[in-house]
């Protein structure tokens, strides 16, 4: 397995923003017209979380994962989840070596960036193996635990259309995903550009170049930890989470992990834009994709066609927005300066 490096270069949020722009520009050579989605997934990686993509086949979910791994220089593996998978198919197993001494043979969960394709097609026992990797950053085989390489990022997919032969992820596992999002169909202009590029290059995919490596991503993650969230901002997040617990359409509101996740990914978004402080706009932009999969609808609301995303948006609308940042935050933001990232990622 990849050794963990402790001597990482210290970088500031302006450097994070510049490097992120290079990463996204290179990935966009393969993934056309999805800048906002790519920024969201990169924010999940920099926040040291995991991302679940729910979308129909053919919208570049696998291409996004492969391209991001190539451009960031991260070790990549892909798992096609099927009903016959067992946990050791993911974690690996212990086998006797040539000298008869047992040796651990790692499975596909042991990589920096793991694509879990159609994760809901595997039974719960197999899903649980991925759950340990996501939460504990380790896997357990024959009673022995093995640390996973860092950074560790699981990008899982689900097809929301087909339900036959699937095993819905339990709420406890959904809660381990920092973000849940979709890719969506490209617009007509982007789709024409996609086809035109394919015709021009005469090969299936462009050859992407690495922009950074695993240590570079870990340095970016460390820089995200320096991003500040003032007391008013923290209170704003707490009130949003509390609003989910009293909403009439929800059986279960967000746990405290939801508030922690929202702050975490908001800090990553701020760093991507070159700021070392979080604003209410960061929170608003990310609340739905961070909290909607952490709540459970009441049966009557589900029957009425209410969506979790609609409820989270309603909670956002009812919680007053902090009107200003501290003077110190304002000065810090002016010094850092934005890098032109999408404000609606």
**Separation CA 43–CA 281 (nearest Å):** 15
User: Rounded to whole angstroms, how far apart are CA atoms 281 and 323?
Assistant: 11
Buried/exposed code over 67-81 (b: 16+ C-beta within 10 A; e: otherwise): bbbbbbbbebbbbeb
For residue 345, tell me if it sits in a domain: no
* Consecutive H or E run containing 146: strand 144-147
* 30 lies in the same domain as 163: yes
Distance between CA 26 and CA 23 in Å, rounded? Answer: 5
User: 82 in a domain, yes or no?
Assistant: yes
Domain assignment present for 1: no
Q: Does residue 180 share a domain with residue 273?
A: no
Whether the predicted pLDDT of 344 surpasses 60: no
Is residue 49 within 8 A of residue 135, CB to CB? The reply is no
The pTM assigned to this predicted structure is 0.87
pLDDT higher than threshold 60 for residue 6: no
| Domain extent at residue 329 | 227-336
The residues near 219 (Cβ < 8 Å, ≥ 6 apart) are 8, 9, 10, 11
Retrieve residue 36's tokens. 């906002």
Write down which residue in 180, 195, 215 finishes a domain: 215
Half-sphere CA count of 272, side-chain side, radius 13 A: 29
Report how many domains make up the chain: 2
Give the H or E element holding residue 138.
strand 138-141
At 260-315, the pLDDT tens digits run: 999 999 999 999 999 999 999 999 999 999 999 999 999 999 999 999 999 999 99
- Position 325 confidence tier, pLDDT thresholds 50, 70, 90: low
Query: Per mean pLDDT, which range of 17-31, 33-47, 93-107, 251-265 is the poorest?
Result: 93-107
What CATH number does residue 329 fall under? 1.10.8.80
The answer, yes or no, to whether residue 132 has pLDDT greater than 90, is no
């Amino acid at each position: 397995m990849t050794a963990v490096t402790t001597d990482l270069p210290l970088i500031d949020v302006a450097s994070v923003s510049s490097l992120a722009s290079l990463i996204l520009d290179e990935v966009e050579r393969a993934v056309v017209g999805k800048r906002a989605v790519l920024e969201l997934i990169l924010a999940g990686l920099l926040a040291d979380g995991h991302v679940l993509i729910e979308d129909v086949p053919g919208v570049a979910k696998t291409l996004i994962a492969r391209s991001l791994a190539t451009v960031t220089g991260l070790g990549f593996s892909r798992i096609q989840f099927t009903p016959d998978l067992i946990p050791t198919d993911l974690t690996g197993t212990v086998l006797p070596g040539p000298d008869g001494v047992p040796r651990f043979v790692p499975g596909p969960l042991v990589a920096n960036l793991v694509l879990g394709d159609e994760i809901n097609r595997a039974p719960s026992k197999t899903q649980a193996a991925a759950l340990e990797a996501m939460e504990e950053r380790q896997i357990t085989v024959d009673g022995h635990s093995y640390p996973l390489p860092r950074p560790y990022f699981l990008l899982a997919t689900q097809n929301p259309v087909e339900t036959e032969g699937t095993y819905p992820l339990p709420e406890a596992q959904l809660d381990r995903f920092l973000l849940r999002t979709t890719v969506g169909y490209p617009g007509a202009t982007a789709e024409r550009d996609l086809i035109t590029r394919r015709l021009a290059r005469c090969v299936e995919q462009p050859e992407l170049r690495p922009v950074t490596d695993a240590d570079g991503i870990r340095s970016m993650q460390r820089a995200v930890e320096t991003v500040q969230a003032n007391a008013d901002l923290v209170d704003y997040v707490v009130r949003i989470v509390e609003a989910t617990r009293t909403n009439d359409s929800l059986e279960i509101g967000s746990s405290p992990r939801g508030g922690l996740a929202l702050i975490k990914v908001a800090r990553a978004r701020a760093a991507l834009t070159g700021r070392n402080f979080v604003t209410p706009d960061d929170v608003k932009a990310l609340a739905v994709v961070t909290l909607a999969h952490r709540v459970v609808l009441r049966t009557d609301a589900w029957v009425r066609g209410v969506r979790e995303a609609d409820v989270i948006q309603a909670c956002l609308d009812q919680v007053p927005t902090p009107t200003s940042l501290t003077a110190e935050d304002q000065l810090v933001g002016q010094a850092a300066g934005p890098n032109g990232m999408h404000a609606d990622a």
